[in-house]
Every structure is written in structure tokens, then in C-alpha cells.
Amino acid sequence: MWKGVLPVNVEQIDDVLVVALPARLDAVGVAAIENNLNELVTTHKGKVVADMSHVDFVASLALRMLLTNLKALQPLGGDLRLASLQPQIAEIFRKSRFDTLFKIYPDRESALVSYRS
Amino acid sequence: MLQDLLRTIPWFTYLDAAQISSMAASMAQRHLAAGDILFHHGEESYDCFIIVEGSVEVLIYVNGAEHRLEVYNAGDIVGEMALIDRSPRSASVRAITDSHLVVITEVEFKTLIGSNPEVAMRVLRNSTTRVRNTNQRMIGDLERKNNELLRAYQQLKAAQGDLIRLSRIEQELAVARQIQESFLPRQLPQLRGWEIGAYSRGAQAVGGDFYDCIELSDGRIGLVVADACGKGVTAALFVALSRSLLRAASQAPWIFQSGEILDAESILTGALWLVNDYICREHGDNNMFVTLFYAVLDPKNGDLAYVNAGHNPPLLLDAQCENLYELPEATLPIGIMANQNFPPQRTRIEPGYRLVLFSDGITEAMNPDGQPFGDERFHEVLYEDGHLSAKNLVSIVIAQVDSYAAGAPQADDMTLMIIAREA
């Protein structure tokens, strides 16, 4: 298990790691969590859900951070699925077509269910 | 009885009974509570004191700060220096605990010293030890001060080194900025029946946005607006890379390959495939990506073939400045997935229409309250001032964004290019 000060809220539900991301994922926000999130995810090596319900701003660096974690997990048989995107964040994923890279769910529960099937 | 008390103090050992009794009869005593001052530095008084009970501290003041030189306890003699050399007190003395002292006047002091050479010797030894201790302390203080100065000097030198390094980095950034400016078109193409206005400003010394107008075969023109992930130096390196690759890949078939005129779709898909594949293969580990809108415009008829690789959808403003259309369909940005296809789309810029290409630094410019400029305000400006020339419209939008930001630091690079077709 990862031990240390958590920059993000982390919860393990069965075999799924649920990570709640902070509100502002601008350059500063990303720098604050990037390393720890990466360590967390690569240690877990499995199913991860990023709960984005609090996120109200994403800079391109935040997309890169998510992409980096996705690319780290997939070869290990894991995945990073996104849940609860606020409308303006969903819009950014749509415009950048990052919505084609990630499996995106309306809420945390449906993201968890998707891992069970 | 004071007489009995004096007998227990070594200083009085050699006095005979008569001397002790006469001294006790005339001798004054001082009782101090803890914190009471026995005498002050600079005071002109010439008695000395023998501590019968309690303890006192010798204090000096340097730059307003109190320093304790010495602590004296029962049996110790205090203040004899002023008595010996008749000079003002060299330090202050304060009781640490409740203390009882006997006062030795000059006459009594002489009697004491005269009573036995051993007592005189003792006074001398006492004074010599104090002088020696004071000297050692001063030397120790000097050494410490010297070390502190040395350390401060080293820190200063290190800070100066940092400053020099910083100013060198700043100089290099200034050069990088100049080089980056040379990556923007020196002048925008003059096309009959068209007008192009463009502007780009980085949030930092160097930026992650760029625009370009690429001359292509058959009088066509390539229009590019792009935004590399992040900002600053990392993003600027990717700007340099992708801009150069895109230019080379777009012009090479025309310039080097027998002048065969490719259709717009082939130019777009060929160039983008090459740039994307190169970045993915060579720089994929960085997970850096570039959102990029690339269009080939045929000024003769307004035909526009384009690929939007994950960039903000450009807007088309109609001739009456009443409707804005988002150009549909986008693909993933450049640099994410190797061997990706970039299917081109087609539209036409009708007479009087304007094509507005921009980066999210425009719509996400923040005011001091952290609220973004937003699509709505952006669209309002376009409706309101869309009839102006492309260059003026660009200036007006930037001025509106700056006035909205009201001095708040620019969070992201801003780029805007407007292509207007005459009515």
C-alpha cells in the first residue's frame, strides 16, 4: 500500500482504487498531485476510477496527467475510467477528443459497476 | 549575630576578634529580592560587597541586549574593581535569588587586605581570574562573530552566484523568445479578396501557442493555429518541433516532388500523419501533445479543407454578423496515438464570412476573481465588431480580453487568427 500524505482523496472499493481529484487542475494544481497520483496508480496496477465531480477547471497539463496514468495502467491490465465530469469539463474532453481515450461514466457507481461486468 | 556570620566567611578568617567586632559594628548590610539591582553600570560608587547568602549576576548591555558575564554566589566578593581603581562601575549587578550581602567600605577593605598577605593574594587572584575569563570570553565572542561573518559572506557569494545564473537564464530566455517569434510568419499573406489578422502572446517568456500561414501550390494557403500542452519552455520546444515538421511536410511534396499538385485533402492527411507519427515515435514517452487546427484554403473560391486535431473548434461568422457556426468534427491531438488517421472535413468561406481560429487562452483568460472570459463574451465581441477589418477585429478582441483580465496575470498563451473574405 502507498503510505504518505495523500494529495487526493483515495478510497479502495473491492479491487478498484477510487481517486477523487481536486477542483482546479491548472498547472499549479497538476504539479501538486502529479507525482503522488502517478505513484499511487502505478503501485495499484489495476482498476482505477478518477472521480472528477469536484473538478471545475482542467488545463491541458491535466489531460496529459490523466493520459500518462492511463498509458501506465493499460499495459499492466489495468484501466483508468473517469466518473462525474461537470458539463464544462465534459465539453473539454469532447473538443479535444480525449473522450475517445477514456471510458467515461456519469457517476462513481456506474464506473464501479462497469468494472464488475 | 553578624559577628558570628563574618567568621564563617573565608575573607574574614585572618581578622582578630577585636577587628571583627569593630567591623561588624560599623558594617552596613544589603538585602536584595530576586531581580533587585545592586548597582548599575556607570554608577560612581566605591563600596564592594561580599555575598553572605544568595546569588547575583553581572550584566552588560550591548546594543540594547542584555548579556550575563558572570554569576557570583555566597562567599564571593563583588564590585571590588571600582573600589580598587576608583572608576565608575563597569557592569550592572542584579540579584538572581533573594540575597544577603555585607557592604565593605574602602577603609574596611584596606583592613581586610592588611590582615594577612593571603587575603591580599586572594583579592589579586580573584581579579586576575576575572580579567582572564573576560579575555577568553571576548576572544571566544570574536571567533564566533568571525565565523558568523564568514558564513554570511559565503551565503552572500552563493546568492550572488544564483543571481548571475538567473540573469544568464533570463538572457537565454530572451534569445529563445526572439527565436520563437521568428517561428511566426514575418508577414501575413496578402490575398486578393481576403484579409488575415493574427496575434499571439505567451503567458511566459516563451509560449506553447503558434499560428502559421503556409504557402502551398496553386496559390493555396495553409492556415494553422496550435496549442502545445502546458506552457513555458517545455511547450515552446514542442512548438518549434511541430511547427517546423508541419511546414516541411506540407511544402515538401510541392517543392521537391516534381511539382505535382496535390489536392488539399492529401496535403492535410499526409502532413499530419507524418508530424503525428514522428512525435509519437520519437517523443512518445513524454506524453506531450499538441492540439492543432490545420486548414487548406483556396482563395479563388473560398473552399476550405481542414483537420481539427483536438483544438478548440474554429468559428465561422456569417456576413451579417448574426450567426456563428462551430466547425464540426475533430480528431485526437497530435502526439498521442501513432499511425492515426486525420480525416479531413470540407466547408466553404462564403463572401463576407469570417473564419475565427483561436486558442483556449482567449476564452479561459481569467479576471482577478478567477472567472473566465468565456465563450459568451467572446461571441458577443464577434457579433458586435465582426464587420470590422480582420486586423481591427483581432485587436478589439485582444483589448476586450485584456480589459476583462484587468491586470490579472495571464494564465495561458493566447492566439487568435481571423480570416475575412470580402463581401
ipTM of the predicted structure? 0.88
Per-residue pLDDT, B213 = 96
| Residue A59 one-letter amino acid | A
**pLDDT band at residue B259 under the 50/70/90 scheme:** low
Summarize pLDDT for A86-105 with one digit per residue, the tens. 999 999 999 999 999 999 99
pTM for the full model? 0.72
Summarize pLDDT for B14-49 with one digit per residue, the tens. 888 888 888 888 889 999 999 999 999 999 988 999
Summarize pLDDT for A19-39 with one digit per residue, the tens. 999 999 988 899 999 999 999
Looking at residue A100, the DSSP 8-state letter turns out to be: G
Cα B228 from Cα B249, distance rounded (Å): 18
Averaged confidence pLDDT in chain B: 90
Cα B126 from Cα B84, distance rounded (Å): 13
**pLDDT band at residue B124 under the 50/70/90 scheme:** confident
Per-residue pLDDT, A3 = 46
Q: How many CB pairs under 8 A join A and B?
A: 45
CA distance B409 to chain A (A): 14
Summarize pLDDT for B276-292 with one digit per residue, the tens. 999 999 998 888 999 99
B330 and A26 within 8 Å at the Cβ level: the answer is no
- Best of B336, B337, B414 to disrupt the A interface (most A CBs within 10 Å) is B336
**pLDDT band at residue B9 under the 50/70/90 scheme:** confident
Residue in A closest to B229 by C-alpha: A60
pLDDT higher than 50, residue A2: no
Summarize pLDDT for B186-226 with one digit per residue, the tens. 889 999 999 999 999 988 878 889 999 999 988 999 999 99
Per-residue pLDDT, B145 = 92
Per-residue pLDDT, B298 = 96
**pLDDT band at residue B258 under the 50/70/90 scheme:** low
Structural domains in chain B, sorted by start:
2-115 (2.60.120.10), 183-421 (3.60.40.10)
Query: Span B133-148, mean pLDDT?
Result: 89
Cα B206 from Cα B103, distance rounded (Å): 81
Summarize pLDDT for B64-123 with one digit per residue, the tens. 888 888 899 998 889 888 888 888 998 999 999 999 999 998 888 888 888 778 888 888
Instruction: Indicate the residue of A26, A27, A95 with minimum beta-carbon distance to B330.
Output: A95
- Best of A42, A95, A99 to disrupt the B interface (most B CBs within 10 Å) is A95
Per-residue pLDDT, B255 = 65
CATH architecture under which domain A9-116 falls: 2-Layer Sandwich (3.30)
Summarize pLDDT for A34-67 with one digit per residue, the tens. 999 999 888 888 999 999 999 999 999 999 999 9
**pLDDT band at residue A1 under the 50/70/90 scheme:** very low
pLDDT higher than 60, residue A6: no
B332 and A96 within 8 Å at the Cβ level: the answer is yes
pLDDT higher than 70, residue B177: yes
**pLDDT band at residue B308 under the 50/70/90 scheme:** very high
Summarize pLDDT for B390-399 with one digit per residue, the tens. 999 999 999 9
% of chain B with per-residue pLDDT over 70: 99
B229 and A60 within 8 Å at the Cβ level: the answer is yes
User: What string of H, E and C letters represents the secondary structure of chain B?
Assistant: CHHHHHHCCHHHCCCCHHHHHHHHHHCCEEEECCCCEEECCCCCCCCEEEEEECEEEEEEEECCEEEEEEEEECCCEECHHHHHHCCCCCCEEEECCCEEEEEECHHHHHHHHHHCHHHHHHHHHHHHHHHHHHHHHHHHHHHHHHHHHHHHHHHHHHHHHHHHHHHHHHHHHHHHHHHHHCCCCCCCCCCCCEEEEEEEECCCCCCCEEEEEEECHHHCEEEEEEEECCCHHHHHHHHHHHHHHHHHHHHHHHHHCCCCCCCHHHHHHHHHHHHHHHHHHHHHHHCCCEEEEEEEEECCCCEEEEEEECCCCCEEECCCCCCEEECCCCECCECCCCCCCCCCEEEECCCCCEEEEECHHHHCCECCCCCECHHHHHHHHHHHHCCCCHHHHHHHHHHHHHHHHCCCCCCCCEEEEEEEECC
